[in-house]
Amino acid sequence: MKGDFKSGGRLERVLRAGAFAVTGELGPPRHADPEDVRKKAGYLLGNVDSANITDNQTAVVRMSSMAASLIAQGEGLEANMQMVCRDRNRIAMQSDILGAAALGVNNLLILSGDHQSFGDHPEAKNVYDLDSINLIRALRDMRDKGVLMNGRELPEGGRPRLFIGAAYNPFADPEAFRALRAKKKVDAGADFLQSQCIYDMGRYKRFMARAVDLGLTERAFFMAGVTPLKSMGMAKYMRDKVPGIIIPDALIERLKGVPKDRQAEEGVRIACEQIEELKAMEGVSGVHLMLVEWEHMIPAIVRQAGLLPRPVP
Partner 1 sequence: MIIAERKPMNEITGFIEGKAKILVVGCRGCVTVCNAGGAKEVEILASLLRLGAEKEGRGLHADELTLERQCDPEYVEELSQLMDGRYGAVLSMACPIGPQYLARRYPEARVFPALNTSFLGGALAHGVWSEFCQACGDCVIHLFGGFCPISRCAKSLLNGPCGGSEGGKCEVSKETDCVWQLIVDKITADGTLDAFMAMDLVKDWRTSRDGGPRRIVRQELLR
Residues that bind partner 1 (CB under 8 A): 85-86, 112-113, 115, 117-118, 126, 128-134, 137-138, 149, 167, 169, 171-174, 176-177, 180-181, 183-184, 187-188, 196, 243-244
Which of residues 138 and 220 has its CB atom nearest to partner 1 in the complex?
138
Q: Which of 23, 8, 10, 100 is nearest to 55 (CA)?
A: 100
Q: CA triplet 52, 69, 267: central angle to 5 degrees?
A: 30
Which of residues 161 and 203 has its CB atom nearest to partner 1 in the complex?
203
Which of residues 81 and 167 has its CB atom nearest to partner 1 in the complex?
167
Give yes or no for a contact between 24 and 295, defined as CB atoms under 8 angstroms apart.
yes
Least Cβ distance, residue 268 to partner 1 (angstroms): 25
Least Cβ distance, residue 131 to partner 1 (angstroms): 5
SS3 assignment, position 99: helix
204 CB-contact burial (10 Å; exposed 0-12 / middle 13-18 / buried 19+): buried
Least Cβ distance, residue 305 to partner 1 (angstroms): 25
Q: Where are the beta strands (DSSP E) in the chain?
A: 21-26, 50-53, 79-84, 107-111, 163-168, 192-197, 221-226, 284-289
Least Cβ distance, residue 62 to partner 1 (angstroms): 20
Which of residues 134 and 231 has its CB atom nearest to partner 1 in the complex?
134
Least Cβ distance, residue 208 to partner 1 (angstroms): 16
Which of residues 188 and 307 has its CB atom nearest to partner 1 in the complex?
188
CA dihedral 120, 81, 90, 127 (to 10 degrees): -10
